[in-house]
Amino acid sequence: MIRRTLAVGSVALTGVALLVGAVSSAAGADGGGIALALVALGAVLGLAIVAGAGYLYRSDVATVHTARIAGWNLLGVALLGVILALARLAPGVSIPAYVVVDVLGVSSVAHLLIGYNDVRRIRAEELARQRRTLAVVNRLTRHNLRNRTQILTGHAAALAEELDDDDQRAAAETIRATASELADVDGELAAIQTALNGDRPADTVDLAALVEDVLAPYRDRHPDGEFAVEVPDGLAVRGDDQLVTAFDHLVENAVEHGSDDDPYVRVSAETDGDLARVHVTDRGPGVPAEEVAVLTEQREISQLEHGSGLGLWVVKTVAERYGGDLSVENREGGATVSVGIPTA
């Protein structure tokens, strides 16, 4: 904190010095309106630098980077200040004080902008390195997860077939089911990684037909369930295979968390400007409030205490890749997850 204060304080001090210099040079501004305008310019530059220092202090720029910006500022003021000082000492050269203030002010602002852009470049390089590292970690994690879950599933299945004790067989089946759930995490991580690295889709798909394709296997598995579709005919959206993955996650969540025997899922849609709003409604207990708060960025991700899995995060990532959004509405007797998808 002290280092940040010193760095930002040096920038603010530059602004204050320029402001004082502009005010004190006003008395010697005998060049009429132009001279007074130059005096005013120096004062405005000083105030702008002080305001910029305040913004920099409150910003999320790392302390080490604020020091770098302050260094650029001092470089610009010191270098040009030495040149102006030497020029004023030269015989026959007269530079009004308000001109010196203006030149130093312009140099300070210019170097602050250079420093800020320099910090952005460094931050972009850091993010690129982090992204590459995360991509490698993601691949290794998913590879190990696949291998381990396959081993667990195989051994658990063998145990379930060989064991005669009902409790032991049930334990083996639990291990196999848990391993299968872990294997699903691999697919969810892969979908998120693809969405993060992909561009917005250019292909057009018929939304009603896509929804029907997604619902078809669930209707087969749950013949007593109710699956309603209220999507306008001819509504086309931008999408690719990941849109199918996203809607499949929404329907799967609605089926799994809606009810045990006779799931109810209603998929409806309408246009909202350049977006198609797709709503998936169930009759379950709703999405945990903590997860909703993090999904909608009302709370930091570090505050997520528990959740129902990565499914909604897959949907959110895909929607944002498309240029859309995600929202969740919990109400008595069910929940509605809405996704905004750009129309074609």
Q: Strands 275-282 and 264-272, how do they pair?
A: antiparallel
Express as a percent the part of the chain with pLDDT over 90.
33
Name the pLDDT band for 94 (thresholds 50, 70, 90): confident
Per-residue pLDDT reduced to its tens digit, 45-86: 999 999 999 999 998 888 888 999 999 999 989 988 888 888
Structure tokens at 102: 């203006």
What pLDDT was estimated at residue 307?
A: 47
CATH class of 204-342: alpha beta
Closest CA to 279 of 206, 334, 209: 334
Q: What is the mean pLDDT of residues 127-154?
A: 74
For the chain, domain boundaries: 1-197, 204-342
pLDDT digits (tens, 9 = 90+) for 262-294: 889 999 999 988 999 999 999 888 888 878 887
Report d(CA 88, CA 106) in Å as an integer.
18
Q: How far apart are CA 200 and CA 195, in angstroms?
A: 9
Bridge partners, residue 329, by sequence = 336
**Is pLDDT at 30 greater than 80 in this prediction?**
no
Report yes or no on whether pTM surpasses 0.75.
Answer: no
CA 328 – CA 342 distance, rounded (Å): 18
Q: What pLDDT is recorded for position 251?
A: 93
CB 50 within 8 A of CB 15: yes
Q: Residue 187's pLDDT is what? A: 73
Distance CA 172, CA 177 (A): 9
Task: Please count the CA atoms within 13 angstroms of the CA of 198 that sit on its side-chain side.
Answer: 21
End-to-end CA distance of the chain: 50
Query: How buried is residue 330: exposed, middle or buried, by Cβ count under 10 Å (0-12/13-18/19+)?
Result: middle
